[in-house]
Amino acid sequence: MKKIALCLIALLMGFAVVEAKVGVSVTVYNQDLALVRDARTMNFEKGVGEVLFKDVASQIDQTSVHFGANGVALLEQNYDYDLVSPEKLLQKYVDQEIEVITENGDAVRGTLLTSSGNTIVIQGSDGSLRTLLAESTREIRYPKLPEGLITRPTLRWLVNTSASGDKETEVSYLTGGMSWRADYVMVIDESNKADLGAWVTVNNNCGASFMDAKLKLIAGEVHRARQPQPVFMPFEERAMAMDGAGKQFTEKSFFEYHLYTLERPTDLLNNQTKQVSLFPNTEIQTKRIYEFDWQRKDNRVGVSLEFQNAESNGLGMPLPAGTVRVFQEDTDGSQEFIGEDNIEHTPRDEKVRVMIGEAFDIAVERVQTDYRQISNRVTEQDIEVKIRNHKKEAVTVVVIDHAWGDWEIIRSTIPMRKVSAHKFEFDAPAEPDKEVVLKYTIRNS
């Protein structure tokens, strides 16, 4: 409810535990998942007692919590996530006494009977009823925080401690609400040389902030038996933070995945999108690919950029899946956006192909010029593909076609290349302002 200020007089009752942060590490996966390892120094009393571990993620998978502290046995665990809000306070105080301060300064005391929408109903000590509107309410005062409401998501443990004193406690858990992706920026010139930079984009909407955290990223598809049921928090405006250039991540193989570790601590704030440079900008050589696949693009030629992920080409680091956005420099020095594409996880020494768009100055036509029934089982079809290149330079258009069953190309004007059981290609050279005609015959039997 708008204009309602909360006056909380009493604090949450519980077993007081003095604690100090030791360190936190966060490993983020591609699948809306993160592993949090939080180490703290906590003071425990000997015997059986209750302790609180606050500031955990609100989307925690409580079944994944692992607790470790020497001489402390965990007997019971509860996850408390019923957080304080104006609506929750009103719900908890039904049939209890509250005080409402109106806009003109009047104090209305009485028993809260109900709250609905923008109105609340209060019964005074004399039995009279008053309905108050939210817009006429300046403040609601409550004598104490109701039992069961907390200010931050909290793990509540029942523990048995062998001896009193400070102990280093480490808690790890899985949480939803965190993910990461790679974002690449490529700027090419007319010679197809490119300046390639990469950013890691981390989204934190898990309901907790992690200060001075050690950040690790896992690239790969991790199988999970089930997904945790998230507890969604109220929406807050998201912030974006960017972290400087330079080589900041180290990479290594980890099981069947790849692990990227940021070599310095960083802050991961709740409802924040953070970008960190994955590797410094590097110059690579790309190749422009023109393809015509009539089953995918009718009479249109697609344009892609292809490059080798190799040390000899300025790379050689396993590239995590992400979006590549491509720009080209204009003669005035400006950079214009020319296309973008998603790439999969790419090992080193493999090719990367980025689909940019469609060629404006290359026209193509494909027609079936003849079809013959040679026998009950054998047919033949003649195909003709005309390519007209209106560019100032010569290009090679890869003409792609598909066939099923038992097939063969019995004749063609350009050599055929068989790619798979159902796919074959032709490399058709097209000179400037000229037409090239590709003819071939497919026999099916």
Predicted confidence (pLDDT) at residue 184 exceeds the cutoff of 60? yes
Ranges in the chain annotated CATH 2.60.40: 362-444
Quickly count: other Cβ atoms within 10 Å of residue 121's Cβ: 16
Quickly count: other Cβ atoms within 10 Å of residue 319's Cβ: 26
Predicted confidence (pLDDT) at residue 6 exceeds the cutoff of 70? no
pLDDT in tens, 385-441: 999 999 999 999 999 999 999 999 999 999 999 999 999 999 999 999 999 999 999
The pLDDT, as a whole number, for residue 246 is 55
- CATH code at 85-142: 2.30.30.100
Which pairing describes strands 239-243 and 178-188: parallel, antiparallel, or unpaired?
unpaired
Which band of pLDDT confidence, cut at 50, 70 and 90, is reported for residue 272?
Answer: very high
Non-local (6+) Cβ contacts of 411 within 8 A are 440, 441
The mean per-residue pLDDT over the stretch 313-336 comes to 91
Q: Which of 76-85, 226-235, 290-299, 360-369 has the highest mean pLDDT?
A: 360-369
pLDDT in tens, 103-148: 888 888 888 888 876 888 888 888 888 888 877 888 888 888 776 5
362-444 CATH fold = Immunoglobulin-like (2.60.40)
- Rounded to whole angstroms, the Cα distance separating 262 from 231 reads 29
Nearest-5° Cα angle at 272, 269 to 273: 125
The mean per-residue pLDDT over the stretch 297-303 comes to 88
Nearest to 29 by CA among 217, 210, 174, 170: 217
In the chain, the largest separation of any two C-alpha atoms, in whole Å, equals 104
Predicted confidence (pLDDT) at residue 151 exceeds the cutoff of 80? no
The mean per-residue pLDDT over the stretch 181-196 comes to 93
The pLDDT, as a whole number, for residue 107 is 87
Which band of pLDDT confidence, cut at 50, 70 and 90, is reported for residue 99?
Answer: confident
3-state DSSP assignment of residue 135: helix
The mean per-residue pLDDT over the stretch 5-30 comes to 57
Q: Which of 30-34, 104-108, 310-314 has the highest mean pLDDT?
A: 310-314
Predicted confidence (pLDDT) at residue 16 exceeds the cutoff of 80? no
pTM, 2 dp: 0.72
**Which tokens sit at 370?**
């003849």
Ranges in the chain annotated CATH 2.30.30.100: 85-142
